[in-house]
Every structure is written in structure tokens, then in C-alpha cells.
């Protein structure tokens, strides 16, 4: 039995999504820009998906720009807004220090081209304080980007308050909602943002599909130029099967949301409490009261997370540390570092993220095998230290 507890990295597809992707791949090959029957069929399918995604965000369908995924949506939001506002003299960008690389590295790229950037620090709760954002935002700020929930620790950010601060200074507000859309209710108007990014494969949809919600009237330049797709906001022939799958996944998530969030939340709590009880020297990272229901991030004192992850995988349990680098090795989490945790705490932290197919039996199995694995790894660390002491 293999147990998958890495839903924040990606999710298995819902069976309904697989069916929709397969049948669309087989039947709807048309180019949605074509005038004829085949084009109309394809266009109809995309419009249907657009309506479904819009409904999940309590948004208007025409405000949805489909992209290749969350990373492209973040890039479009930040680069698109930056370019549109460049002429106004707003050459400053603000983001939190715990953003996803899609945001952080886009800011870095713009910084190399002369944009000023400010990263707002975050304390050990893992929650951005609106007051710190207020200190960072100025009259030349073009855009503030703060994620809705953090991918590594799951903490939910006070987006509405931060959006109000951004708007006071005339800046746009973007939120990377990749880790909340499909997990908890997301209402673009209640959040008060101008731009919101999400991704299909985090809600049991296919990879290669994402969306940027762009509030009507928001100034934004396209970053991919070409045909007049997506109302001139994103050129390129649409990936119809993936978008249809996204639509189906969005409808499923909306239909299941309150009950499923409660179910997954109870499983997460069971896992978290079980680990804290059964494994000595464990502690949860980040504020526990304000998190997406599926995520927990736990430090295992004196155990290298890299080793623990591999030992668990060899027992059929898939978890994660924060994010993997290009070669697949583990880098110390920039999120935990930004929260001010020690190198030791950072290197001993593991993320468990649950979802649609997670069961109580899986959670109980993890709680059962984890103590022995941790004990074994701790024993080896001790021996190595003793050996090092003897060998000088």
C-alpha cells in the first residue's frame, strides 16, 4: 500500500476529471478560434470550464484568464501589472518573504531590470502582519503580492486587510491562491484583490491548466503575445482537455467543499495529534489556528528531514519538505527561514498534506510506523556524533 500525503505538491485526478480529459482529448480536437463546427465545439467546452472556475471564485467568467498553470498566472499578474504601470512611475513591488518561488523569482527578475522590491518579513506564526505591509508600501508601489495560504505550512493570510492597505496607496493587489482554491471558500470580492492566481492540479484537476482572475478594469499587459486568445490577455491555442478537466475539478470542489474540508481537517488533526503524541521531540511550525485544513508542517528534533522523507518513501509513505530544487535534493525551506527558525528546526521539518483520497487508515498507518523510523534515525545521528568525537 502506498500512501500519498503530498497534496500540496500535486493531487491525484478525480475519476470524473480523468473521464472528461480523456473524452475531450478524443473528441474535441478543434481550435477554439476556428469559425467552423469543430472550433465552436472547442470554444463551447472552454466557456463551460470558464464558468465553472469563475463560480468557484464567485467571479465573472469574462474575468478569468486561463494559463498553463499557477506559475504562469503569477507571472502574468506581476509582470503584466508591472509593465502596465511602468509609465505611471510606479516602479516598486511588495511581496511577503514566504511567497512561492513563482512570485519571489519573478520579483527578482524584475529587480534586475530596475524595479525596486520589498519583501515583508514574517514572524514564527507564519502569518503576514498587515502593519508590516503598510510600512513597506509607498506611493510608487505598483503591486502588492501576498499568497492566500502558504504552501509549506498552510497558514492563511489576512488578504482583505492587506488589499485595503495596497489600495489606500493606489497599488494593485495580487494573491497567489494556488493553495486555497478548492480547499476553502474563495470569494474574490470578499478578498478585495485585483488579481488572483490558481491552478487546476492542486484541486484534483490536470497539470498544465491554471487561471488568473483579473478584476474588470485592472491594467495589465499580456506577457505572451500572439493571437487574440483570452480577450487579448494570453495568446496561444488553448489546451482544451486540460481546461475542461479544470472545469470539472472546479465543479467537484465546489460541490464537496464544506463537507470535504471538514473531513480532511479532521484527518489532518488526527495525524498531527497522533504524531505529537507518539513521537517525542516534535513540534508544529506556524500558527495552528489559521491554516488550510489539509496541511501540517512538523519539526522532528535531531532528524534530518531529508533522511526521514526517504525512509518514509521506502516504507511507501510520500511526504515532502517545503520545496525541491532543480536536482531533486532538498534545500532549507526559505519559508521556515523567513519565519526566523534555526537552521536545525528548518532542516528537520516535514510537510504532510492531505486530500480527496486520504483515509483514516492511511493516517493511522503513518502514526504507527513513524516512531520507529524516527528513533532509528536519531540513533544513527547519535552514533555518528560519538564516532566523530572519538576520531577527533
Partner 1 sequence: MRIVVAMSGGVDSSVAAALLAEQGHDVVGLSMQLYDASGDAGGERAFGSCCSLDDLHDARRVAAVLRIPHYILNFERQFDEQVVSNFVREYAAGRTPLPCARCNSDLKFATLAVRARGFGAEAVATGHYARVERDAATGRYLLKRGVDASKDQAYFLFSLTQDQLAGAVFPIGGRPKEAVREYARLHRLPVADKPDSQEICFIPDDDYATFVGERAAGGVAAGAIVDESGRVLGRHSGIHRFTVGQRKGLGLSASPTGAPQYVIALKPVDGQVVVGPKASLERTALSASGVNWIVGEPTGPMRVAAQIRHRHPAAPSTVRATGDGRAEVLFDAPQVAVTPGQAVVFYDGDIVAGGGWID
* Residue in 307, 346, 349, 353 binding partner 1, rule: CB under 8 A: 307
4 to 43: interface string for partner 1, x by CB under 8 A? ----------------------------------------
Planar angle of CA 127, 133, 137, nearest 5 degrees: 160
Region of 125-133, 205-213, 354-362, 373-381 interacting with partner 1 (CB under 8 A): 373-381
Q: Does 383 bind partner 1 (CB under 8 A)?
A: yes
H helix or E strand, kind and range, residue 49? helix 37-56
Q: How is 187-247 classified by DSSP, letter by letter? A: -HHHHT-SEEEEEGGGTT--TT-EEEEE-TT-----SS-SS-HHHHTS-S---HHHHHHHH
H helix or E strand, kind and range, residue 4? strand 3-4
Q: Does 301 bind partner 1 (CB under 8 A)?
A: no
Q: Does 310 bind partner 1 (CB under 8 A)?
A: yes
* Residue in 269, 301, 306, 364 binding partner 1, rule: CB under 8 A: 306
User: What are the Cα distances from residue 297, in Å, to 272, 289, 318?
Assistant: 9, 13, 14
Give whichever of 173 and 377 is closer to partner 1, judged by the CB atom. Answer: 377
Q: Does 314 bind partner 1 (CB under 8 A)?
A: yes
Q: Does 331 bind partner 1 (CB under 8 A)?
A: yes
Dihedral of the alpha carbons of 17, 1, 288, 250, in degrees to the nearest 10: 0
* Residue in 187, 313, 360, 368 binding partner 1, rule: CB under 8 A: 313
Lookup: cell for 16? 470524473
Taking each continuous run of H as one helix and of E as one strand, the counts in the chain are 13, 12
What are the residues facing 295 on neighbouring strands? 353
* Residue in 41, 105, 125, 290 binding partner 1, rule: CB under 8 A: 105
Q: Considering the complex, what minimum distance in angstroms separates the CB of residue 344 from partner 1?
A: 13
Q: What region does 85 belong to: left with phi over 0, alpha with psi -120 to 50, or beta? A: alpha
Region of 52-60, 62-70, 113-121, 327-335 interacting with partner 1 (CB under 8 A): 327-335
Q: Is 325 a catalytic residue?
A: yes
Q: Considering the complex, what minimum distance in angstroms separates the CB of residue 71 from partner 1?
A: 13
Region of 52-60, 150-158, 241-249, 306-314 interacting with partner 1 (CB under 8 A): 306-314
Backbone phi and psi for residue 120, each to the nearest 5 degrees, phi listed first: -80, 125
Q: Does 377 bind partner 1 (CB under 8 A)?
A: yes
Q: How is 247-309 classified by DSSP, letter by letter? A: HHHHHHHHHHHHHHHHHHHHHHHHHHHHHHHHSSSEEE-S-SSSB-TTEEEEEETT--HHHHH
- Annotated catalytic residue within 1, 259, 314, 325: 325
Q: Considering the complex, what minimum distance in angstroms separates the CB of residue 142 from partner 1?
A: 22
Residues found near partner 1 in the complex (CB under 8 A): 105, 108-109, 306-307, 310-311, 313-314, 325-331, 376-377, 380, 383-384
Residues with a catalytic annotation lie at 325
Amino acid at each position: 500500500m502506498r500512501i500519498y500525503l503530498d497534496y500540496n505538491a500535486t493531487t491525484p485526478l478525480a475519476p470524473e476529471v480523468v473521464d472528461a480529459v480523456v473524452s475531450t482529448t478524443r473528441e474535441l480536437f478543434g481550435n477554439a478560434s476556428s469559425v467552423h463546427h469543430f472550433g465552436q465545439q472547442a470554444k463551447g467546452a472552454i466557456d463551460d470550464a470558464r464558468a465553472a472556475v469563475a463560480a468557484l471564485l464567485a467571479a465573472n467568467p469574462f474575468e478569468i484568464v486561463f494559463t498553463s498553470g499557477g506559475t504562469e498566472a503569477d507571472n502574468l499578474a506581476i509582470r503584466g501589472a508591472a509593465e502596465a504601470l511602468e509609465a505611471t512611475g510606479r516602479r516598486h513591488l511588495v511581496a511577503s518573504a514566504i511567497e512561492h518561488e513563482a512570485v519571489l523569482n519573478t520579483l527578482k527578475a524584475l529587480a534586475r531590470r530596475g524595479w525596486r522590491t520589498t519583501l515583508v518579513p514574517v514572524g514564527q506564526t507564519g502569518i503576514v502582519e498587515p502593519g508590516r505591509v503598510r510600512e513597506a508600501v509607498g506611493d510608487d508601489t505598483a503591486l502588492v503580492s501576498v499568497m492566500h495560504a502558504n504552501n509549506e505550512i498552510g497558514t492563511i493570510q489576512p488578504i482583505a486587510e492587506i488589499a485595503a492597505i495596497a489600495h489606500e496607496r493606489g497599488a494593485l493587489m495580487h494573491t497567489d491562491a494556488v493553495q486555497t482554491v478548492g480547499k476553502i471558500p474563495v470569494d474574490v470580492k470578499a478578498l478585495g484583490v485585483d488579481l488572483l492566481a490558481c491552478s487546476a492540479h492542486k484541486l484534483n484537476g490536470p497539470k498544465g491548466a491554471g487561471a488568473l482572475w483579473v478584476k474588470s478594469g485592472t491594467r495589465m499587459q499580456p506577457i505572451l503575445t500572439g493571437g487574440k486568445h483570452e480577450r487579448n490577455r494570453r495568446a496561444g491555442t488553448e489546451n482544451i482537455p486540460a481546461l475542461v478537466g479544470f472545469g470539472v475539478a472546479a465543479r467537484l470542489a465546489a460541490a464537496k467543499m464544506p463537507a470535504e474540508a471538514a473531513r480532511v481537517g479532521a484527518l489532518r488533526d488526527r495525524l498531527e495529534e497522533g504524531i505529537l503524541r507518539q513521537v517525542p521531540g516534535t513540534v508544529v511550525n506556524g500558527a495552528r489556528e489559521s491554516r488550510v485544513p489539509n496541511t501540517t508542517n512538523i519539526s522532528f528534533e535531531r532528524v534530518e528531514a531529508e533522511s526521514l522523507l526517504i525512509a518514509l518513501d521506502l516504507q511507501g509513505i510520500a511526504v515532502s519538505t517545503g520545496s525541491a530544487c532543480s536536482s531533486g535534493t532538498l534545500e532549507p525551506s526559505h519559508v521556515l527561514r523567513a519565519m526566523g527558525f534555526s537552521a536545525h528546526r528548518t532542516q528537520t521539518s516535514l510537510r504532510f498534506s492531505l486530500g480527496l483520497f486520504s483515509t483514516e487508515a492511511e493516517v493511522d498507518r503513518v502514526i504507527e510506523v513513524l516512531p520507529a523510523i524516527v528513533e532509528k534515525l536519531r540513533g544513527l545521528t547519535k552514533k555518528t556524533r560519538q564516532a566523530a568525537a572519538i576520531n577527533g
